[in-house]
Structure 1
Amino acid sequence: MKKTLNIFLLCTLIIQTVSAQSPEILSIRKQVLQNAGKIMTEYSEFLSLPNVAADPVNLQKNAAFIMKMMDQRGIKNVQLLNAGTANVPPAVYGEVIVPGATQTLIFYAHYDGQPVNPSQWAKGLEPFKPALFTNALQNGGSLISFPANGKFERDWRIYARGSSDDKAGVAAILNAYDALIKSGLKPGSNIKFFFEGEEEEGSTHLNEILDKHKSLLKSDLWIICDGPVHQSGKKQVVFGVRGDTHLDLTVYASKRPLHSGQYGNWAPNPAMMLARLLASMKDENGKVTIKGFYDDVIALSPAERKALLEVPSVDQQMKNELGISAVEIPGTSLSEAINLPSLNINGIQSGNVGKLATNQIPTTATAVIDLRLVLGNDWKRQQQKVIDHIKAQGYYVTDKDPIDEERKDHGKIIKIVPEEGYNAQRTTMDLPIVQKIIAAIKTTTTGQVVLQPTMGGSLPLYLFEKHLNAKTITIPVVNHDNNQHAENENLRIGNFFDGIETMGSLMLLK
């Protein structure tokens, strides 16, 4: 009886494993593997185009390249959607209208990227000269040529700025549609494509594009292809993103640098003042001590709390990867931490260090504070809480360099420059179309699909709700160790090909 039961369980497992890989997904996979050489050649050309957000000339070249990709795939009504303000990078739009379709999905990714410092990249790597490696650099990967036979190993990595964030999203979406059509499959929904060119600049003019093209952008759901899969390697569906905003702080002391021996213990040191001020914002257990910092947080729903409990723990894995043994908030998992508002110091600068260090008391000290927001926080209100805290520490706050009269009247002076920001967004898990999304992704994998209430990173998704009354859901595809926004940005080939399958599964939705 026990043997029979074991055989039954084994057969059940085999059936579940096979059924998870639908025939349609297997057809898409076959097309991707057969055309891998062509896909990667085109992708390398795309990555060779500099896409720094502050470089409008090259951003135009990127937009033109995407339009060419869309035209070659037979996508209709390809056009640039411009903002009302001049010299703003356009969004690239296209559509596929399916006769009889009852719903419309918009696939979103962005083609602009973060600035680069080539000197920080590994020796031999150039940010806009794609390079193929046998594995990640930290895993001992070695440089190889692109294979003439078009066959790529899943653990190979392609290194280039934008390779993961977020040209991978653009390419995964467009190659998914290409594989779908070449497989003889028909999309189940009307499909619209929207590729933004200003995301890394905070999507400052995205609201103008959305308002100007409201009728064109009607849909049942926006599918956002950005960010990494779960650190466990499992595919994930993300229902929300944190908001983001920054504050630039500058503390002032003496009008000129002073000899630390002649004036130490007497003249105020701005670096020490700033260090004390920043330390006052958090306690030793990582809790932000600013009054009201957590007061307006909207709690997770019961369904969201349940999903959070089912997220695989990767805390020990990430500690090992990162070489850390403690976390900022003791007893809090990574998944729990990213569902809280945060205050982070992006950088501090005052005087010189290393070989350039001198015995001086510097004149100023600066820091940039990054505030990540969750549902309920308002970015302007959150900024003001920090400013009020700084005032409570006895600082005179100004928005420009202090004049002599201000220096005479105030012993503690700080310049605060608030930067623009945006709020968090979260889509409820119980929407029928969201349940169909989850079911579709499950057809592409035999593993767990992680349901994540909130992504740790930020995207201005609240704008889609505000200006289009639209719902969004985020489907990441790239590897978690992709070095996005930093040197040696990379994309694991297996993640890229899996991402194409994922996007294809969603295009089949009816």
Structure 2
Amino acid sequence: MTLALIALWLAAERPPAAEAARAFVQANEAKLVRAYAEFLSIPNHASDRPNIRRNAEHIQKMFQAAGARTELIEAGGANPAVYGEVLAPGARRTLLFYAHYDGQPVIPERWADSGPYSPVLRTAPVEAGGRLLPLDQPRYEREWRLFARSASDDKVSIFALWAALSALREAGLRPRSNIKFFFEGEEEAGSPNLRALLEKAGDRLRGDVWLMCDGSVHQSRAQRIVLGARGVATVEIAVFGALRGLHSGHYGNWAQNPAMQLARLLASMTDGEGRVLIQGFYDDVIPLTESERRAVQEIPIVDGELKEELGLGSTQPFSGLLRESIYLPSLNVRGIESGGTGPRAANEVPPVARASLDLRLVKGVDGRKQAERVAAHIRAQGYHVIEGRDPTREERLRHGKIARVDIRPGYNALRTPLDLPIVQEILAVARAVRPPVYVEPSFGGSLPLVVFEEATKAPLVIVPISNHDDSQHTHNENIRLGNLWDGIELYAALLAM
């Protein structure tokens, strides 16, 4: 069979909605890049209420133009959620699509050339020497990347859904199912008001399945469909010394140094090889089923390539291969702060040292219980533990070692059964659009899936589209244009499912 015939055969097997989306993208690349850059230019940290509302209203207008009925759902002090719907006459089911429009905090000076809300186009990642290009181009290469906060996590999903809906509308293809959209503005802040927003939405969010549009494709660039996500809890730790900073020459080998104390405390929590030493940390883990284990074994091993890409001479051996490690709970030090370094360093014994931990949770492990285990471990190291406040002068004099431990239990992990008929249908559509497709029982990252399941009683399936090397949650976040184009096609096929 010739290459031309193979191409025609593959096109014939692809869903018409995916082909319509491809034609739409090819005819509108420059307009899509410019429209996405406009969306990305709106700051979106969850605490920035005025700009968060600007984002929500911008999304409303986008989806109204694509034929959806929209409204903002508000509950108490929550950031608004954007609700949209496209109802199909005679539809026998409802598909629910979720994404979030808020982004991680930014440190602007760490971004190359432009700020996090000034989108730029490059030929490649910054670390690969990608050259800056004007946004407007006569044609666009799939390897080019658009850089901005939330370019991949997770405005890309909202934008791709809008483009997919617009493509279907332009091609005269109507969804056969009722379509509902729910876009959150607090996911990166831990979704503190998600349950209240879902309750406020009520029966509007009753449906047959949630398609959670977040995350990245497999590191091999193959599409993956993910049936769950780890949960997350956070623990903030502060260790205290003197009431004020002290001259390190006069007091450096007399007064306790909180930075040294905190370093020893954190080091006591693991064996340095990936195993967490906190008592009971792995006790409640529910293991994978046999079908889930088989699915994991079919996922390509990419550890060697990733070590090369990331410049890692070694990884933590306890958890094994990357594809297996995410089914164990983890403890990560996401930040340490005490005194100053470089030009800001002073010859001082700092008065306080702080660390921020995230605890990734797997099925069976409760966030509050896991965080309490961390607090118990700190007590076992001889610390007097307080929560929600700094120590009083009297407590400082009474206790030689004091730690403030603030717990946010977050949300727990969830895994959707692999054998559900709706899961198999979604897999069939994805494989018709973007083969090969790998099935993963869970993401390594976290999404508040358990809140959705408890509030709406519908199963959840994650359909990610961004590139694995997108630098999400850090500086120079980016989306590869090929991933954006492919995502629009996949979402169009799922909207028409």
Q: TM-score, normalised by structure 1?
A: 0.93
Q: Distance in 1 between matches of 2:166 and 2:183?
A: 17
Please state how far the C-alpha of 1:47 moved relative to its aligned partner: 1.2
Query: Do the aligned residues in 2 keep the contact of 1:443 with 1:505 (CA within 8 Å)?
Result: no
**What is residue 4 of structure 1 aligned with on the other side?**
none
**What is residue 427 of structure 1 aligned with on the other side?**
416
Letter matched to residue 488 of structure 2: I
**What is residue 59 of structure 2 aligned with on the other side?**
66
Within the candidate set 70, 73, 81, 2:73 is matched to: 81
Q: Distance in 2 between matches of 1:301 and 1:11?
A: 43
Please state how far the C-alpha of 1:16 moved relative to its aligned partner: 7.7
Within the candidate set 144, 150, 157, 1:162 is matched to: 150
SS at match of 2:210: strand
Q: Distance in 1 between matches of 2:471 and 2:208?
A: 33
Within the candidate set 80, 85, 90, 2:80 is matched to: 90
Q: 1:279 to 1:177 in 2, by over 3 A?
A: same
Query: Do the aligned residues in 1 keep the contact of 2:233 with 2:409 (CA within 8 Å)?
Result: yes
Q: 1:175 to 1:14 in 2, by over 3 A?
A: closer
Structure 1 runs of 4+ aligned residues shifted over 6 Å read 10-16
Q: Distance in 2 between matches of 1:331 and 1:243?
A: 18
Query: Do the aligned residues in 1 keep the contact of 2:275 with 2:319 (CA within 8 Å)?
Result: no
Matches within 5 A, 1:106-505: 106-123=96-113, 125-147=114-136, 149=138, 151-330=139-318, 332-399=320-387, 400-445=389-434, 447-505=435-493
Q: Which runs of 5+ in 2 are unaligned?
A: none
Q: 1:497 to 1:15 in 2, by over 3 A?
A: closer
Q: Distance in 1 between matches of 2:419 and 2:236?
A: 40
More displaced stretch, 433-442 vs 404-413 = 404-413
**What is residue 3 of structure 1 aligned with on the other side?**
none
Q: Which runs of 5+ in 1 are unaligned?
A: 1-6
Q: Distance in 2 between matches of 1:244 and 1:141?
A: 34
Please state how far the C-alpha of 1:348 moved relative to its aligned partner: 1.2
Q: Distance in 1 between matches of 2:108 and 2:381?
A: 40
More displaced stretch, 468-477 vs 256-265 = 256-265
SS at match of 1:451: strand
Q: Distance in 1 between matches of 2:370 and 2:453?
A: 21
Q: Distance in 2 between matches of 1:376 and 1:232?
A: 30
Q: Distance in 2 between matches of 1:144 and 1:156?
A: 9
Q: 1:210 to 1:22 in 2, by over 3 A?
A: closer
**What is residue 94 of structure 2 aligned with on the other side?**
104
Q: Distance in 1 between matches of 2:384 and 2:137?
A: 65
Query: Do the aligned residues in 1 keep the contact of 2:274 with 2:319 (CA within 8 Å)?
Result: no
Q: 1:386 to 1:148 in 2, by over 3 A?
A: closer
Q: Distance in 2 between matches of 1:133 and 1:319?
A: 24
Q: Distance in 1 between matches of 2:481 and 2:73?
A: 31
Q: 1:11 to 1:60 in 2, by over 3 A?
A: closer
Please state how far the C-alpha of 1:240 moved relative to its aligned partner: 0.7
Please state how far the C-alpha of 1:143 moved relative to its aligned partner: 1.2
Please state how far the C-alpha of 1:13 moved relative to its aligned partner: 8.2
Q: 1:16 to 1:312 in 2, by over 3 A?
A: farther
Q: 1:194 to 1:226 in 2, by over 3 A?
A: same
Query: Do the aligned residues in 1 keep the contact of 2:331 with 2:358 (CA within 8 Å)?
Result: yes
**What is residue 27 of structure 2 aligned with on the other side?**
34
Q: For residues 139-185 of structure 1, what are the alpha-carbon distances to aligned partners after superposition, in whole Å with 9 as ceiling and x for unaligned? A: 22211113354x32111111111211111010111111111222232
Q: 1:141 to 1:214 in 2, by over 3 A?
A: same
Q: Distance in 2 between matches of 1:440 and 1:58?
A: 36
Q: For residues 307-357 of structure 1, what are the alpha-carbon distances to aligned partners after superposition, in whole Å with 9 as ceiling and x for unaligned? A: 111111111111011111211234611111111110010111222222332
Please state how far the C-alpha of 1:436 moved relative to its aligned partner: 0.2
Query: Do the aligned residues in 1 keep the contact of 2:123 with 2:144 (CA within 8 Å)?
Result: yes
Q: Distance in 2 between matches of 1:341 and 1:474?
A: 20
SS at match of 1:213: helix
Letter matched to residue 85 of structure 2: E
Query: Do the aligned residues in 2 keep the contact of 1:180 with 1:504 (CA within 8 Å)?
Result: yes
Letter matched to residue 154 of structure 1: R
Query: Do the aligned residues in 2 keep the contact of 1:130 with 1:158 (CA within 8 Å)?
Result: yes
Please state how far the C-alpha of 1:434 moved relative to its aligned partner: 0.5
Q: Distance in 1 between matches of 2:446 and 2:192?
A: 14
The CA RMSD over aligned residues, in Å, is 2.0
Q: Distance in 2 between matches of 1:103 and 1:91?
A: 23
Letter matched to residue 129 of structure 2: G
Query: Do the aligned residues in 2 keep the contact of 1:25 with 1:443 (CA within 8 Å)?
Result: no
Q: How many residue pairs are counted as aligned between the two chains?
A: 496
Q: Distance in 1 between matches of 2:22 and 2:6?
A: 22
Q: Distance in 2 between matches of 1:143 and 1:494?
A: 17
Please state how far the C-alpha of 1:223 moved relative to its aligned partner: 0.6
Q: Distance in 2 between matches of 1:142 and 1:15?
A: 35
Please state how far the C-alpha of 1:18 moved relative to its aligned partner: 5.4
Q: Distance in 2 between matches of 1:167 and 1:188?
A: 26
More displaced stretch, 58-67 vs 494-503 = 58-67
